Amino acid sequence: VRRLPIGDGIWIARHKHLSSEYVLDFIVERKKVADLRSSIRDNRYKDQKLRLLVCFDLDLSSVPSLSARVRSGLKKLIFLVEGDPNTSEAAESIKTACFTTEILEGFDVQRTSGLHDTLRKYAYLTRAIAQYYKLHLPEDHSKLSGVCPPFNEFIKRCQELDKMTVSDVFSIQLMQVPQVTEEVAIAVVDLYPTLVSLANAYSLLEGDVCAQEEMLRKQSNNKVSSVASKNIFRFIWG
């Protein structure tokens, strides 16, 4: 068992004779229903998903203050929810979060009834992943390093996420919103460097939804389109 900088579990391929290890293209984030509920409330849920997405496949070279590409090379993000959401008083918000995570953000959401079921799921995934690589592994195994990152490189790249500023993270969050390009994200961050500062600006409009939806468009002198402005408001306020 090793401590990971991101996620709760990964699968590693180890050379039979050498000490080299490679991280396979699968990573899992496990959440008990109670933990998921609390992380939704304090926004840790969005942050954890963002870190997985960034470590997954985002080019950060265009984000202000970042000079390196942070990418783990992993291609399959699994979000495992342990327990029955219907037993929680926040059942609807949990179900909505799972739907968003799967449909809009591209995670593979898996559900289990409890710890024993989770362990069975891990065993099933391990067999399925092994079978996947039997079918897709290059015939020349020396090419594996070009397919999957070495374990040490994976750890190093994930740790680079800790060097990001709050504004860097906010920029990446914004670029997950439909119609928000790099230029739009930069325009927003120039006005509001953090998610909290933008949320506070929305709150000052006291529930005037039309004004809130158009706020960024007007303040950016149309650098932020009307559609992007509305989408960002819904992302922050929704």
Q: Which pLDDT belongs to residue 108?
A: 92
Distance, in Å, from the CA atom of 91 to the CA atom of 83, rounded to the nearest integer, reads 11
What is the residue-averaged pLDDT of the chain? 83
Please name the residues in contact with 60: beta carbons below 8 A apart, sequence gap of 6 or more: 54, 66, 68, 69, 70, 168, 172
Query: What is the arithmetic mean of pLDDT over 85-102?
Result: 89
% of the chain exceeding 90 in pLDDT:
43
Residue with the bigger pLDDT between 166 and 35: it is 35
pTM (global) more than 0.75: no
35-66 pLDDT, tens digit per residue, is 999 988 887 887 788 778 766 654 444 443 33
For the chain, domains (ranges, CATH) are 9-163 (3.40.50), 166-237 (1.10.150.670)
Distance CA 231, CA 226 (A): 9
Query: Longest Cα pair distance anywhere in the chain, in angstroms?
Result: 66
Convert the pLDDT of each residue in 99-112 to its tens digit.
888 877 778 999 99
Contacts with 44 (C-beta within 8 Å, 6 or more apart), sequence order: 38
